[in-house]
Amino acid sequence: MKKEVDRLGLKGIVRANKAGCLDHCEYGPSIVVYPEGVWYWAGTEADVTEIMEKHIVGGQIVERLLMPGHEPPKRQLKPLKP
């Protein structure tokens, strides 16, 4: 995540924090995007890139990577304009 923040020139706009256990280990690494509260799982680096480009920058939910049991927000997301 931090590499993607740097690659996309989002340092100071987006913050990527390391977290401890989020109680969903069975799905692999967890990513939670705030303020929306969208939960994703990421099995590969390509998944992280997709979340960053589509959700963080583009304002689109990445349906295929949504964490089971966590509903996406009902409101539309706004694209990020760095």
pLDDT category of residue 81 using cuts at 50, 70 and 90:
low
Residues, the chain? 82
Q: What is the pLDDT of residue 62?
A: 96
Tell me the C-alpha distance between 13 and 33, whole Å: 13
pLDDT at 82 over 60: no
Q: What is the pLDDT of residues 41-78, one digit of tens each?
A: 999 999 999 999 999 999 999 999 999 998 888 888 88
Q: What percent of the chain has pLDDT over 90?
A: 66
Q: What is the pLDDT of residue 33?
A: 94
Residues paired with 40 in a beta bridge: 31, 66
The SS3 call for residue 57 is helix
